[in-house]
Chain A
Amino acid sequence: MNHKKINKKDLGNLLHQWSKDYTIFVPSNEGDTAQMGLWDGSDTGFLDWYRNTAKPPKANFLPPVEEMFRFQKGKEGHSIKLPSQEHQQLIFGIRPCDGRSLAILDNIFTDAYQDPYYLPRREGAVLVGLGCLKPYDTCFCTSLGISPGESNDVDLMLTDTGDEFLIEEISDKGKQLMELTAGLEDATEDDTARASEAKGKAHDKVTRKIDTQHLSHKLLSTFEDETYWEKVAAKCIACGICTFLCPTCHCFDISDEMVKKEGARFRCWDSCAFPLYTKMPMENPREEKWQRVRQKVCHKFEFYPMAFDVIACTGCGRCIRLCPVNWDICQTLGQLPG
């Protein structure tokens, strides 16, 4: 297959070209916090510092807060106004782990119902992947069947070959975009070989591992082991960092806000780490911190695979990197009895 390539210096022109049809999101630093933010139309400086974002790209599809609809109470009952359709987004630079996270999330948002907020954004979006050549020491994507330099979950895949990027078409959507894109050179065999080498090297740089074999079974047999979970949970402070910044955690809360006869319904991220998450009128089945820690681990590595045949973890390492007490999921999984 013939691939294309582009000189890094021309990336701004390429993004500019794409910006005619898409709203472009690139790795950006807002207050020292990296996220996929709106491209300012010229800056490609992120190429110098970007390894991965702190806020995962799920935020572009399931935002921390969104207005589901506005309502007004009249004599005839409530009238509802839906939010306007958003622009089609092109996310440039998404890493293979995060590309996979969206594929994992698609399962839940198409399962019991078709989510009318998440899915149109997904369908309208183009993901331009960028191979990860400098994984963090917290990354363990290769244990989850992901290679840092490769992805089938994006539309186009770029690999850094020095002064240039090799561009591979992955999906039909990617192919269509390439057909409309002008000013790209054909890649040579030499370029493709250099890209392959870079991908292989990146794969080998991921040295942190977890053993996913029999994990579901081990978690099932450890479920009642209160002593283990108490010990594991002891230092957890039950904040929402690991769940909110996890690219596959997707729980949300819904609230109404009404002033006089008008209002809006919002949905926002919620976390199983919080006691309020499971609070019901008479009881809370997960009152204790260890129960909530167990829930988080089991949901990712036992329940989600049971429902969708895929582990809800991509090994991106955000939960380890950003945890204020260094609670390390790999240690918890590695030390499971049974």
Chain B
Amino acid sequence: MNSNNKIQQKLRHEAGALLEQNKVDLIIGFEPGSLKFTTTPLITRDKGDLDRLVINPFIVNNLAVFLPDIKGPDLKGPKLKGRVAIVAKGCDGRSIVSLIQDNKVRRDNLVILGIPCPGMIELRKVEKLTGKDRDELDDIIREGDKVVITVDGKASEFPISDVLFDNCLGCEFPTPQDYDILLGEPTAPFAERSAGQARILKGISPQERWEFWRREFRRCIRCYACRNICPSCFCQRCFVEESEPQWLMPVPRWQENLMFQAIRTIHLAGRCSDCGECERSCPVNIPLRSLTREMYDLVDELFHFKAGMAKDAPPLMTHYEQEEAKDLIR
């Protein structure tokens, strides 16, 4: 039995016990997706569903995104009524803590089922590596630091770092910072984390950078998947939806698209846990993490702040100390 299977069994057991003992009303985890090499969020109150819970290298979603939305046990009533047990990888855990800091969810309503995360496999990288689409692959099996990919019956071995998401390669805290139950042993970050830094913005001139983003954002269709998949984008009403007066034209022209993303990124300062979900979700492959990771690094550099590390710490951007004024306002 590999370690994922053990963790999965333990997860099913713990989740079942939590529902049975009426400690939570709702479980949020992952179940097998309808497609090969995918999983899908499982949000359930039914103990009978729990044997579908899975842990594997494809549990990509940051489930914290559902927390500000969850309703009570009768599926009606005031938001956040129910107590929730949620499966969380390192970055998801930081998003959860960040939501607690922002008063979007209460810690005592949560049971965090922590997963020490060895990194998630990015299917786009596997597709590039093999020259095949996801549905043409026979198998993808992770074996420690290696991955074995089978195409047309032929197995090939690659270093795992070839196929993990960039944000996983650059992850500082793969084990959740706050949890009630940790499923598995804490795991260490990758030794060579620089591979996971934002690639595109470094070392090019502002003109080239502008040109780059102009080109990228011409493709944006303003589907808002980046915003809606993001746990930190929790505004009840996003600024782009302000129509009286209109803050931003809804037309998907590159100027507006770039402006939307720039403002979104600024709103995420001190909240973004670099889970990479915005970039993964983008249907037109805009390298959004190059913006969010840059912001993440800037926040660290300027404020010595990392998102979602301590639930009792005040949120970065809504908190203000008198002495800060000396440096900031001159």
Contact status B250-A268, CB under 8 Å: yes
Task: Please give, as numbers and ranges, the residues of chain A lying within 8 Å of B250 by CB-CB distance.
Answer: 253, 255, 268, 270
Stretch among B111-119, B163-171, B190-198, B280-288 lining the A interface = B280-288
Contact of A326 among B38, B216, B243, B284 (CB under 8 A): B38
Proximity bits, A109-143, B CB within 8 Å = 1, else 0:
00000000000000000000000000011100000
**A70: interface (CB < 8 Å):** no
Report the minimal beta-carbon distance from A165 to chain B, rounded to whole angstroms: 22
Q: Do A137 and B286 touch (CB < 8 A)?
A: no
Known: A235-B43, A237-B65. 19 other contacts (CB 8 A): A31-B215, A31-B285, A55-B284, A64-B222, A64-B252, A65-B251, A137-B135, A138-B35, A235-B66, A245-B221, A245-B283, A253-B250, A255-B246, A257-B249, A269-B252, A271-B223, A322-B283, A324-B225, A326-B39
* Residues of chain A within 8 A of B314, CB atoms compared: none
Main SS class of interface, A? loop
Q: How far is the CA of A270 from the CA of B250 in the complex (A)?
A: 9
Please provide the 8 A-B residue pairs with the shortest distance between their CB atoms, ordered closest to farther: A240-B223, A324-B281, A239-B225, A326-B40, A137-B135, A326-B33, A237-B228, A235-B41
List chain A residues, Cβ under 8 A from B36. Answer: 137
Beta-carbon nearest neighbor of A322 in chain B: B283
Known: A64-B252, A230-B75. A326 touches B221 (CB 8 A): no
CB atoms of B34 and A320 under 8 A apart? yes
Residues of B within 8 Å of A84, CB to CB, are none
Within 8 A of B (CB), among A285-325: 289, 320-322, 324-325
CB neighbors of A among B1-43 (8 A): 33-36, 38-43
Interface code B229-249, partner A: CB below 8 Å = 1, 0 otherwise? 100000000000101001001
Interface size class of B (residues with CB under 8 A): 35 or more
A255 and B221 contacting across the interface, CB-CB below 8 Å: no
**A205-255: which have CB < 8 Å to B?**
226-227, 230, 234-235, 237-241, 244-245, 253, 255
Set of chain A residues within 8 Å of B253, measured between Cβ atoms: 65
Query: With a CB–CB cut-off of 8 A, which chain A residues contact B35?
Result: 137-138, 320-321, 326, 328
Most B CB within 10 A of own CB, among A137, A275, A279, A327: A137
Choose one: A237, A244, A289, A330; the contact of B34 (CB below 8 Å). A330
- Complex CA gap A327/B61 in Å reads 12
* CB neighbours of A239 from chain B (8 A): 223-225, 227-229, 281
Collect the chain B residues with CB atoms within 8 Å of residue A321's CB.
35
Give 29 A-B contacts (CB < 8 Å), ordered by A residue. Answer: A31-B219, A32-B124, A54-B284, A64-B222, A65-B253, A226-B75, A235-B66, A237-B225, A238-B228, A239-B281, A241-B283, A244-B223, A257-B249, A257-B251, A269-B221, A270-B250, A274-B241, A276-B243, A279-B243, A289-B69, A320-B34, A322-B283, A324-B277, A325-B41, A325-B61, A326-B33, A327-B40, A328-B33, A328-B34
The residue that A237 contacts in the complex, of B33, B219, B229, B241, with Cβ under 8 A, is: B229
Contacts of A58-83 to chain B: CB distance below 8 A? 64-65
In the complex, which residues of chain B have a beta carbon less than 8 angstroms from the beta carbon of A279?
243
B219 near A30: Cβ-Cβ < 8 Å: yes
A interface, CB within 8 angstroms of B: 30-33, 51, 54-55, 64-65, 136-138, 226-227, 230, 234-235, 237-241, 244-245, 253, 255, 257, 266, 268-271, 274-276, 279, 289, 320-322, 324-328, 330-331
List chain A residues, Cβ under 8 A from B251: 65, 255, 257, 266, 268
B185 cross-chain contacts in A, Cβ below 8 A? none
B224 touches A274 (CB 8 A): yes
Residues of A within 8 A of B124 (CB): 32
Separation of A328 and B38 alpha carbons in the complex (Å): 12
Q: How close is B281's CB to chain A, nearest CB, in angstroms?
A: 4
Q: How far is the CA of A310 from the CA of B27 in the complex (A)?
A: 40
Name the distance in Å between A181's Cβ and chain B's nearest Cβ: 33
Question: Could you tell me the distance between the alpha carbons of A55 and B219 in the complex, rounded to whole angstroms?
Answer: 10
A-contact bits for B251-288, CB 8 A (1 contact / 0 none):
11100000000000000000000000100110111100
Residues of B at the A interface (CB closer than 8 Å) are: 33-36, 38-43, 61, 65-66, 69, 75, 124, 133, 135, 215-216, 219, 221-225, 227-229, 241, 243, 246, 249-253, 277, 280-281, 283-286
Of A54, A240, A326, the most chain B CB neighbours within 10 A belong to A326
Residues on B with C-beta less than 8 A from A275 are 241
Please, which residues of chain B bring their CB within 8 A of the CB of A268? 222, 250-252
**Is the pair B61, A324 in contact by a Cβ cutoff of 8 Å?**
yes
Q: Select from chain A the residue with minimum beta-carbon distance to B227.
A: A239
Interchain nearest-CB distance for B42 vs A (Å): 8
**Contact indicator A241/B286 (Cβ below 8 Å):** no
Whether the pair B229, A240 counts as a contact (CB closer than 8 A) is no
Take A33-B285, A137-B135, A326-B35 as given contacts and tell me if A240 and B222 are in contact as well, using a CB distance cutoff of 8 Å. yes
Give the complex CA separation of A136 and B36 in angstroms: 11
Instruction: Give the CA-CA distance A138 to B35 in the complex, in Å.
Output: 8
B225 engages A241 (CB within 8 Å): yes
Most chain A CB atoms below 10 A, which of B40, B227, B251 = B251
Q: B74: nearest residue on chain A (CB-CB)?
A: A227
Q: Closest B-chain residue to A327, C-beta based?
A: B40
* A255-B225 in contact (CB<8A): no
Q: Is the CB of A32 within 8 A of B285?
A: yes
Q: Which residues does chain A contribute within 8 Å of B228, judged by CB atoms?
A: 237-239
Q: Complex: how many Å from CA A240 to CA B223?
A: 4
